[in-house]
Amino acid sequence: MRDPDGLIARAGVRGDPDRDQHFLIDDRVLDRLPTYLTEIDADTSHILEIGGGTGALTDRLLAVADAVTVIERDRKLASFLREEFAADIEAERLTVIEGDALEVEMPEFTASVSNLPYGVSSEISFRLLPESRPLVLMFQQEFAERMVADSGTSEYGRLSVSTQHYADVELVETIPKEAFSPPPAVQSAVVRLEPREPEYDIDDEAFFLRFVKALFTQRRKTMRNAIRNTGHISKLADPDAVVDAADEDLLQKRAGAVTPAEFAALADLATDVSDRTDDG
């Protein structure tokens, strides 16, 4: 396997915290990352990597995948990857897409392993999650803990509900700052997400996600007041009608104590009430 420090030297670059660039240089961590896919028998025939950097992880992914596609926004790094992995590109095992992962067309892939730019972790995650593919992603540890949090805990929030709507999520490893060059200000963590259908049915997924977002803006309020106060965000035509129709025990809870299934049931109730209001 290619030496991470050697790759940085050959690329002639340094990580830049101001641009959210922290290169993973710990060989042991790099070697472990692909195993979080293989130990769940995920389809590794075509792995997507977002933020290829100097290619240390790319090198490990090529060892387990038939094909790898890398999205890299930095022009110099994208050029280096094409040069360093020219043989793999020639063999049609590697594709390098130069561009922003939030803007480029999402390529076909069977799974993703990525050390994401932390500043856009949430946006990229929610481009990937609806694709229903196994994901192994690296985040700031606090962000990762919020993804996996259960209702009733202090970390539980909109991110927890939205993530767990799409996948079973597990924090599989904590990564110290020293594993990166330059070290980031905070510890990192690796999260594995296995796609599955939610345990509940919803009529309107876009509304459900918007409704959850709205209610967590008022997480210190009871659900009764949160529903009434956020109609401009959720776009509810008649929040009071939703409150009148909802279960009293649920209305007395705060958002942090409401499970994803309860949010889903409330969102469907809100949709039904809204439809009746429109019909009336």
pLDDT higher than threshold 70 for residue 279: no
> pLDDT tens-digit profile of 78-134?
999 999 999 999 999 999 999 999 999 999 999 999 999 888 999 999 999 999 999
CA–CA gap between residue 167 and residue 100 (Å, rounded): 25
Q: How far apart are CA 244 and CA 269, in angstroms?
A: 11
β-sheet bridge partners, residue 248: none
Q: What percent of the chain has pLDDT over 70?
A: 98
Tokens of 238: 């008649």
Residue pLDDT, tens place only, 2-20: 999 999 999 999 888 888 7
Is 215 a known ligand-binding residue? no
The CA-to-CA distance between both ends of the chain, in Å, stands at 67
Instruction: Supply the pLDDT for residue 18.
Output: 80
Q: At what angle do helices 260-279 and 158-166 cross, to 10 degrees?
A: 90
pLDDT the model gives residue 65: 98
36 pLDDT above the threshold of 80: yes
Token representation of residue 67: 């094909």
- What is the structure's pLDDT at 275? 65
Q: What is the pLDDT of residues 212-263, one digit of tens each?
A: 999 999 999 999 999 999 999 999 989 999 999 999 999 999 999 999 999 9
- What distance in Å separates the CA atoms of residue 222 and residue 199, rounded to the nearest whole number? 25
100 annotated ligand binder: yes
- Cα 6 to Cα 10, 27, 79, 84, 257: the distances in Å are 6, 12, 17, 11, 49
Q: Which domains does the chain have, with CATH numbers?
A: 4-195 (3.40.50.150), 205-279 (1.10.8)
Range with the poorest average pLDDT among 15-24, 67-76, 168-177, 182-191: 15-24
For residues 202 and 113, what is the distance between their CA atoms, to the nearest angstrom?
29
> Residue 268 annotated as binding?
no
The answer to whether the annotation marks 115 as part of a ligand binding site is: yes
Backbone φ and ψ of 240, nearest 5°: -60, -35
137 is in an annotated binding site: no
In the predicted model, is pLDDT for residue 178 greater than 80?
Answer: yes
Is the model's pLDDT at 195 over the cut of 60? yes
Across-strand partners of 162?
none
pLDDT of residue 19: 80
Residues facing residue 249 across a β-bridge:
none
205 known member of a binding site: no
pLDDT at residue 57 is higher than 80: yes
Q: Could you write out the DSSP letters of every residue in 116-169? A: --GGGHHHHHHHHGGG---EEEEEEHHHHHHHHPPTTSTT-SHHHHHHHHHEEE
